[in-house]
Structure 1
């Protein structure tokens, strides 16, 4: 009898504790999402670099219910504007404590996806607030809005690999400290990072090129189309051609053969392809300022023809709200490090301050 009583008491206390907590479903209006995120029947599906979930709440702690496609993604947990931990969700649906023991009062929580869609999807089911906590009004959408179309540099590929091995696996990728995220935070801007490591304009290290990916909600599904009316940036930044600059020289590369056969593309072909992509972006965002940048890897090395291709493509568009800017070659091996990403952001911000009036 005593054993049964203890079981009953434990169950009762557990039920009372759960009842005291506040559960916030993934589709609650108090949650602010950033980035292209697919809202499914039971969860929000996060895949793109810099996808984020943000809430304001009053209380002492919060947890999240998540499931990851391959347990290959990482997230920054940001409390009151400061990164406090890194979360690595597992393949099974689980609850994760994001913050506990906070001072009673108002707080902001953000869960920021450090990794790109190549690492798979994460399903977010909702949040649970500690006893005595409550959800507050959703964080306001920032006044300024940016969208990036880029490659590994914009994703923060290998930026945290300090060994010199330039590893692109998820532990070493941190999109939160990429130049794209740093620049957006500098301007207190909302930003979407529609980027993928290895992608190009004319050719990529895989079959997909940017003109085929830029309008997708789920980048892995050609039939999944993004509704451009859901997010209209004031500023678009395009940082592409680094991968093209390598692959167009590799006549034995599988993707070279698939795109070009046996003959490398002409300058005219390259310029026209870039121009065509920028036209596509302009058709989606007729009022945005578009800045076509390149750097800071060897596509901007002295003597490289690739900045000239971009200059010619943009000049041919005859659009006074499309600009070009080239970030100097960093003159080191591999992808930009944490320090080099910051240097890129500083360079880009210095340029934008002269041409963009928000």
Structure 2
């Protein structure tokens, strides 16, 4: 669960140059500028007003008529690559690789000449780097918005990101870390779809509450307020953008990690974990005072550590509830044991479906109006 360290502060400025208007299609097509799109998730706009997809599963939708639409996307790293993924008419299609330095559009084809809907998602996490959207072209192309619905924010580590879950194109142990990312098929988007909610994902591979996979920080409490979860980036996320009804927090896997076995690693410190977790919940509650807080354990923590994690999360709940007696009590969900079979021991795409199925009743109950 290695933490990906890339300098996105420089990447954001580079995107301003790399996402200059690209060559348009010839023929009679309509153009939908990036400023007309209605994105959901952690996104921003650069100096040339391209839409920059930052966080995992950040997404936008559009409709078009006919058999083809073209999406113009780019990344700042000329020698790198990143991934989008998309749905056509409600059916998941595939991941799409975007290579640095390429100006070729992504061609989205449909089987009929009727009107079609497309939802485009960032398949990778923020630390992989941003993806800039310049425009969409097609016949009668129009932006579409997410339906009005309750919002769930999913905060977590690589599991929440959908990292290392999808080796269908690049086998485990080969390629780059993000080659197996599949944010859309992670448990969060699946749960949101099942309970009729919208979602935002705030995740970083390898991150923890008081320490990370192989380092002492920066931890989630230290990077949560940064737009791209990078401690060095001065740009902060605008928390007035969304008002989630539920904030789901799933941290702890990396706090328990033994790291790479080379760097000195102290035994797990339960008191530090609990205190850091409580402080983070307070940080979140300061941003979203009306949100229901839900704490999830980890399907990747086993044996005695699993019991210690559950006890620690119970302590976090008890102390937060005591400090906020007028608020809804913190909700807890402890995952059943799972021997994950994805890359490097992460849940696979299929296993994320199992996690989501387990979580759906929990979140459905939290979304019920009081008194039902």
User: In which range does the TM-score fall when normalised by the shorter chain?
Assistant: 0.7 to 0.9
Residue 99 of structure 2 corresponds to 90
Aligned-partner Cα distance in 1 for 2:136–2:318? 49
Structure 1 SS opposite 2:121? strand
User: 1:166/1:330 Cα in 2 relative to 1: closer, same or farther (>3 Å)?
Assistant: farther
- CA drift at 1:56: 2.6
Residue 184 of structure 1 corresponds to 192
Aligned-partner Cα distance in 1 for 2:140–2:74? 24
Determine which structure has more spread, i.e. the larger CA radius of gyration. 1
Residue 41 of structure 1 corresponds to 47
Residue 85 of structure 2 corresponds to 76
Query: Where do residues 117-128 of structure 1 align in structure 2 (5 Å cutoff)?
Result: 117-128=126-137
Aligned-partner Cα distance in 2 for 1:222–1:239? 24
Aligned-partner Cα distance in 2 for 1:150–1:312? 19
Aligned-partner Cα distance in 2 for 1:65–1:109? 14
- CA drift at 1:321: 3.4
2:156 matches 1:150: yes
Residue 9 of structure 1 corresponds to none
Structure 2 SS opposite 1:329? coil
TM-score relative to the length of structure 2: 0.81
Deviation larger for 335-344 or 66-75: 66-75
Query: Where do residues 133-212 of structure 1 align in structure 2 (5 Å cutoff)?
Result: 133-136=139-142, 138-161=144-167, 169-205=177-213, 206=215, 207-212=217-222
- CA drift at 1:356: 2.9
User: CA offsets per residue over residues 301-345 of structure 1, 9 Å max, x none?
Assistant: 675301111110111111433211110120346111122211111
TM-score relative to the length of structure 1: 0.84
User: 1:20/1:122 Cα in 2 relative to 1: closer, same or farther (>3 Å)?
Assistant: same
Q: Which sections of structure 2, spanning at least 5 residues, go unmatched? A: 1-22
Residue 364 of structure 2 corresponds to 353
User: 1:101/1:341 Cα in 2 relative to 1: closer, same or farther (>3 Å)?
Assistant: closer
Runs of 4+ in 1 over 6 A off after TM superposition: 249-252
Aligned-partner Cα distance in 2 for 1:184–1:330? 22
Aligned-partner Cα distance in 1 for 2:357–2:25? 49
Aligned-partner Cα distance in 2 for 1:272–1:150? 17
